[in-house]
Amino acid sequence: QAAADPVSSSDAPEDGPKETSSVSQNISDADAFKILLEMKMKKRQKKPTLPSTVTELNTEDGSKVYVVGTAHFSDSSKKDVVKTIQEVQPDVVVVELCQYRVSMLKMDEKTLLKEAKEINLEKLQQAIKQNGVMSGLMQMLLLKVSAHITEQLGMAPGGEFREAFKEASKVPFCKFHLGDRPIPVTFKRAIAALSFWQKVKLAWGLCFLSDPISKDDVEKCKQKDLLEQMMAEMIGEFPDLHRTIVSERDIYLTYMLKQAAKQIELPRASETEPRKYIPAVVVGVVGMGHVPGIEKNWNSDLNIQEIMSVPPPSASSKIFKFVIKATVFGLMGYGCYRIGQRTVQFILSMPAAQSYLQKLTEIRSQH
């Protein structure tokens, strides 16, 4: 739950007036809760003026969900998120992130920009260790796409999620939820959906991505997120991959939004007082490409157990994994061979070594 930390007693002046502390002690937790809740309700607009990128959805018990469709590299999207949260004063904010990407919420823009541009061996090893060889390589290839956009625009990804996190912390009793399916599950299911040659073809396309992108291109793609659009174009010929990366996550995001939209309980003065519930107000921050899928699945009974399972590796996955390992070890072996060969040639070319070899030759000829 997003809430400000209380100031510690050591920070308060020793000789200051003591009326404040005595007054605060007279207010119970329930009363304080009610006061803050009233303040929040007064700020909440009954008929909010929302950006055109916001889709309003409703539940059977009267809860409202405002889904902000964003472009992941757009300044305009950040403003849309801030305005929506300020207008509706939500009880819950749900973002298209999972626990494996939550670190981007607390990192500053400069650090994130540097991190997003750099794809090195250490990151590859970490991705493989976390997700396995195949899924790790897929993750690194997708990071390359993101790094390409980052380098072209000079803008770090996830700005709208950081804005959502900051704004949620300003709203009393606003919870902050991670709404996306864990990355390892998504990538492992995506890999399992591809044949051996499809994996090779997709990897080839991602490796040679180099088309220039401008900020105008991002805003033109406001109705369909740029990163989602680029991926859709690349995986268009692989419908199974589109299903695992986009359609299944639409279902997962919808499920998490509906869970967040359950009615909230009002504070009680005592245990004997009956429980009272009111409809919740939720803001969801997702890529624009997921909004149609969320709308489509909103009134369906969703079961996410099936899309959370990871199928066993197929024969083609085992072959591809073997080929990758053989290639890596082969390159390492060849590199050692070349280095060793050059080292020997360098030593033999030294005057001292040549003189020593000449003496050995003379000794052998005398015998």
Say if CB 95 and CB 68 are below 8 A apart: no
Per-residue pLDDT of the chain (367 residues; tens, 9 = 90+): 344 333 333 344 444 444 444 445 567 777 787 788 888 888 888 889 999 999 999 999 999 999 999 987 788 899 999 999 999 999 999 999 999 888 888 776 677 666 655 666 666 666 666 666 556 666 666 666 666 666 666 667 788 999 999 999 999 889 999 999 998 888 888 878 877 777 777 666 656 555 566 666 655 554 455 556 555 555 556 777 778 888 999 999 999 999 999 998 876 767 888 888 999 999 999 998 899 999 999 999 998 999 998 877 656 555 656 666 666 566 666 666 566 555 656 555 666 666 666 766 666 666 6
Q: Would you tell me how many other CB atoms lie within 10 Å of the CB of residue 152?
A: 17
Collapse the DSSP code of 354 into the 3-class scheme (helix H, G, I; strand E, B; otherwise coil) and give the result: helix
Residue type for 302, please? L
No. of helices (H) and no. of strands (E), the chain: 17, 7
Phi-psi region of 64 (alpha: psi -120 to 50; beta: other; left: phi over 0): beta
CA 281 to chain centre: 24
Separation between Cα atoms, residue 287 and residue 317, nearest integer Å: 30
pTM score: 0.70
Nearest of 95, 98, 68, 65 to residue 299 by alpha carbon: 65
**Start-to-end CA span in the chain (Å):** 90
Q: Which two tokens stand for residue 113?
A: 């920009």
CA–CA distance, 224 with 74 (Å, rounded to integer):
12
With H, G, I as helix, E, B as strand and everything else as coil, classify residue 220: helix
